[in-house]
Each structure stands twice: as structure tokens, then as C-alpha cells.
Structure 1
Amino acid sequence: MIEVTGLTKRFRQTLAVDDLSFTVSPGRITGFLGPNGAGKTTTMRLLLGLDRPTAGRATVNGLPFRELARPLTQVGALLDATAVQGGRRAEQHLRWLARSNGISRARIAGLLELVGLGHAAGKRVGGFSLGMKQRLGLAAALLGDPEVLVLDEPTNGLDPEGIRWMRGLLRSLAAEGRTVLVSSHLMSEMAVTADHLIVVAQGRLCADAGIAELVRPGTSLEDAFMDIIGRSAP
């Protein structure tokens, strides 16, 4: 599971994450919500060892990401689907990642088929649409068959069919007992995808509860979100 305890990150005068604590449990989809600048991406970067916290701790299965052996086999992440070398071919990109973590190349063809890129295995990523890059990023996240997935806006750039496909895939991964943390601004999608919600604003925790607890009958997740954010405002 993912555990965040007293996590704090300050960039000079800006307090991006403020004493944040929460747990992401396996077997369900946890939505990570907050307005722009709430600290969601910074929290994910701290969790994945891309930034160092000012204080506190973020761990996966009890260890900081930097201490994990062969981390791709334990944590799959998608933060920025466009951060791929454009001249690299899709299959080549996954082969390079597999080699870096001692993962069998035998998984690559099947994963490309799973995410709908079997036809594009030999094509250069620079020619991919944003939706195709998202699918490739998801294949990279699944490459090591990890127990934990950390995904930032995974439906960005996908068409309605792709969004529905992503929803079904995330549900199946959670049903297998994996820990799935998904950040998104799409309230309508989170309403039909997430089982549990963590809501942050100004770097602080505002809500940590099941979606059924937060959304009252006759209201929407958007209504609940705006109410939570409004109550957290200084």
C-alpha cells in the first residue's frame, strides 16, 4: 500500500504540500482530487522519489521509492505521457525500460496489444497523438506487473471510447488486489470510477473517505467537491 505521513514540501516561500497524511489501500481505486495548485502532482513526485520532501515521509509497501529494488516491478507510474523521446519507437521505449529493471521483453508485445498499440509497435513516438502517448505510458506503468499504480490524469487525450476502456482496465486492476491511485480533474469520470477519494487544497488534506460518504443523495461529486474546497478556504 501507499502511506503518506506528515509529508511537507516547501519551494522557497511556497508551501506546496503541508503536513499531508493519508493511506491508499489495495483492492480499490482511490481518486486524488484537488484544484489547480493543490499539491497533487508535487505529492506524486515526492512519492515517486522525483523530489525530496522538506519533512515527512512517503512510502510504498513500507519503503521510500528510492530504496525499492527494481522499482518498476513494484510501482507503475504515469505522470507525463509526453515525456518520451520522440525518435524512439514504441517497442524500443518499452524494451529500454524493461532492460533497466531486469524485466522480460516477452511482456512487451502483449502489453502493446492490451493498450491498443499493437499496430504501432514499430512507429516513432514523436508521431503519436496525445491519446496514443497515454496508452504507451500506461503500458510502461504495467511493464513490471506492479502491485501499485500511480496515475496522473490517465484519460487526458483519450476519446470517449478510450476513456471507457481506461475505466474498465483500472477497475480490473483494482479487482486483482492492486493499489490504484488516480489523479484527475474530471469529476464525472471519478464519480463512476473511484471507490475512495482523497481531496486536497493548498497542500492540505480536506477529505479522505469513500465516495458514497461524500456524495449526498440528489447531489453530484462536483457538488461535493466544491463544498469541500469551499469549506477548506481560509
Structure 2
Amino acid sequence: MTNGDSTGAAATIVARGLTKSYGRTVAVQNVSFTVRPGTVTGFLGPNGAGKSTTMRMIIGLDRPDAGQATINGKSYHELRWPLREVGAMLEAKAFHPGRSARAHLGSLAASNDIPAQRVDEVLAMTGLTSVASRRAGKFSLGMAQRLGIAAALLGDPGVVILDEPVNGLDPEGIRWMRGLLRSLAEQGRAVLISSHLISEVAMTAEELIVIGRGQLLAQTTVAELSASAGSLEEAFFQLTDSVSEYQGRAA
């Protein structure tokens, strides 16, 4: 696994000048950042800031109008076995509701030439072994979230991208997720998490990317941004206030 070297050559995710519009709406404008291996990087921004669009461009679901995102120096479409290099969960219920959890993961494993025993490993890792034969469409939001995480980890990837990873989890599940994210980073993986829960990012992430109205506002560390205003929440609001879509947020 890659070590936590901060040099450009060691960077696992690199975005350069990412730009994306939908009709007349500019979703992302000239966004550049780097996500290093061995760290959990939080991705923050108000609703509509362009976080999801940016993540979709990284994993090839949306094509940028300009710029490029690479994983280990290659675009997502150039990866021979994508799930072995990058695991992503952008939509918790991205599965056929009539399939069991085991069948869903089994089909993903077969499509990326991943050993079948890995399915049992990620089911155990995410606490789903006892419900592996249940139809995924009957899962609660928290269980669906765990299945999405299991799918993201199936290929034992060096890059993990999770959108709102604690959504639907109970307190025990949130605690488990914090430990999992830290463990993935300690293993040398690059972990990018998008969340609306600023306090959760403050407890989990080391580095931080902040965007607003599709523009990069900061790439820094959680400690540095928090120190600038006394707390990460206050620093976030100060940083995004001028570009936030919400009204009346300023104190």
C-alpha cells in the first residue's frame, strides 16, 4: 500500500481544473485539489455547492466540460479493474432491490475478477453476515448504507470515496464508521468523505476541502481551519457565508 508521502507523485486523487455545467447552471468551476494516501480528507460545502458533481466526475459518472480527475495517474475509464483501485458509495441504495446482499456483492466481485471469498469478508466487516441472504430492498437505511460501504471495500481499493457515510447509522454504527475510516487511512489508503455533519468531519478527518457555489474555497487541514475561528463549524460558516445558497446565515 502507498505510504503517506505528501509529494505530488504519491497523490492518489488529483483534480485539475474540473468544470461542469448543466445547461446554464455552472455546477463546478475550475476546481483543483489533491487527496493524499494515508489520510481521511473531508469534503465540505453547502447544499448545491458541487460536492456530488465533483465526486461523480472523479469516478467517471459525469464527464467534465473541462479539466481532469485522475486516480493513481489515470482517469477512471482507464482503470482495468476499477473496483480494485477505487471504491465509492455515492448512493446508498444503488442495488437491485430484489437481490440479496450476497448476490449483489457477488455480481460486483465477478465483474471485477475479485475472489468470491472477499464477499464474505466485507459482509463480516460491515456487520451484514446475518442478513446476507435477505433481499436488499427490505433493508433499513442504515443497513443499505452498510451494504454500500461493503461494495466500496469489495476490491480492497487504495482509494475510498464515500458520500455522507454516517447517514442512517445509529450511534453504534457512527462509532464503527469513525473507526473504519481511521483504519483505512492508517493502512495507507486515500479516503475522501463528503458530509453535511461538520462535527463528524471534525472528529474523523485530518485534511479538508471546502467548496461553495462550485468553486474551491480552501484546501487545508481540519486543525488549521478550526484554529482560524475557534471551531470548524464557525470557520466553515465564515468561509462559505459569501457564497452560500442559504439566506440569513451570517450572524
1:216 aligns with 2:234: no
Residue in 2 aligned with 1:230?
A: 241
Residue in 2 aligned with 1:69?
A: 80
Residue in 2 aligned with 1:32?
A: 43
Tell me, which stretches of 5 or more residues in structure 1 are unaligned? none
SS in 2 for 1:80: coil
Name the CA distance, whole Å, in 1 between partners of 2:228 and 2:21: 39
Instruction: Answer whether contact 2:46 2:244 (CA < 8 A) is retained.
Output: no
Residue in 1 aligned with 2:183?
A: 172
Name the CA distance, whole Å, in 2 between partners of 1:88 and 1:141: 17
Shift of 1:219: 2.3
Shift of 1:119: 0.2
1:109 aligns with 2:120: yes
1:158 aligns with 2:169: yes
Deviations 1:83-141 (A, max 9, x none): 21110000000000000100001111121111010101110001100000010111100
Residue in 2 aligned with 1:186?
A: 197
1:207 aligns with 2:218: yes
What is the 5 A alignment of 1:88-99? 88-99=99-110
Name the CA distance, whole Å, in 2 between partners of 1:186 and 1:60: 26
TM-score by length of 1: 0.98
Name the CA distance, whole Å, in 2 between partners of 1:172 and 1:41: 24
TM-score by length of 2: 0.91
Name the CA distance, whole Å, in 2 between partners of 1:219 and 1:131: 33
- RMSD across aligned C-alpha pairs, in angstroms? 1.3
Deviations 1:181-231 (A, max 9, x none): 000000111111000010000110001001111012772211110011024
Instruction: Answer whether contact 1:32 1:198 (CA < 8 A) is retained.
Output: yes
Amino acid in structure 2 at the alignment position of 1:117: L
Residue in 2 aligned with 1:21?
A: 32
Change (3 A) 1:10 1:217: closer
Name the CA distance, whole Å, in 2 between partners of 1:232 and 1:119: 46
Deviations 1:3-55 (A, max 9, x none): 00011001110000000000000101000000000000000001110011000
Name the CA distance, whole Å, in 2 between partners of 1:172 and 1:233: 33
Instruction: Answer whether contact 1:206 1:232 (CA < 8 A) is retained.
Output: no
Instruction: Answer whether contact 2:228 2:235 (CA < 8 A) is retained.
Output: no
Residue in 2 aligned with 1:9?
A: 20
Tell me, which stretches of 5 or more residues in structure 2 are unaligned? 1-11, 246-251
Name the CA distance, whole Å, in 2 between partners of 1:83 and 1:7: 25
Amino acid in structure 1 at the alignment position of 2:143: M
